[in-house]
Amino acid sequence: MARKKPKLEYAIICDDIRQEVGKKFTFVGIYGGRDLIVRELPFIFPKLCFAVFYKDMKCGDSFSIELSEPSGKQLGQTINGELPGESKGYINFMVFALFSPLKVEKNGKYKLLITINNDKKNRNEIEFSIKLTDETQQS
């Protein structure tokens, strides 16, 4: 039987991710949508975190994560990793990508690009926008 392709289930964008006792995680400052509102540009996020959830992964699968700005230029370094373990079957997998600090200089659509097992044809993109706040709507 052919191998299932790993499937991106969902992603969370937040200010911080903390590991708790008992294999629990706390997500701090979760962004409710895909628009991240800033007061000025350039803007520096002290930390911007992504929790990405996949299913149908296998131990030994590799991944790479890149963040790009609207022009396509890469921000920060590529994050590379491999799923540890001995399991032979399919597993669900959660990977965290933390960029700290992260300086953004432009409005527009940014992308978190995730490649599994060097399969660039099936690369996943998590798109979000950086937008300036509308000062007239603040109270």
Antiparallel, parallel or unpaired: β 124-132 and 35-38: parallel
Neighbour-count burial of 64, counting CB atoms closer than 10 A to its CB (0-12 exposed, 13-18 middle, 19+ buried): middle
Segment 26-38 mean pLDDT: 94
Which tokens hold the place of 50? Answer: 């992504």
Residues in CB range of 85: below 8 A, 6 or more apart: 59, 91
Segment 91-108 mean pLDDT: 95
Segment 115-134 mean pLDDT: 93
Which of 72, 35, 74 has its CA nearest to residue 64? 74
Domains and CATH numbers, the chain: 7-134 (2.60.40.2550)
Segment 15-37 mean pLDDT: 94
* Per-residue pLDDT at 135: 55
Lowest mean pLDDT among 2-6, 55-59, 70-74, 112-116: 2-6
- Cis peptide upstream of residue 101 (ω within 30 degrees of 0): yes
Say whether pLDDT at 98 is over 50: yes
Q: Given CA atoms 23, 28, 30, 36 in this order, what sign does their dihedral have? A: negative
* Per-residue pLDDT at 33: 87
Segment 44-64 mean pLDDT: 96
* Per-residue pLDDT at 1: 76
Say whether pLDDT at 87 is over 90: no
Segment 27-55 mean pLDDT: 95
Segment 40-63 mean pLDDT: 96
Say whether pLDDT at 85 is over 90: no
* Per-residue pLDDT at 136: 45
Say whether pLDDT at 7 is over 80: yes
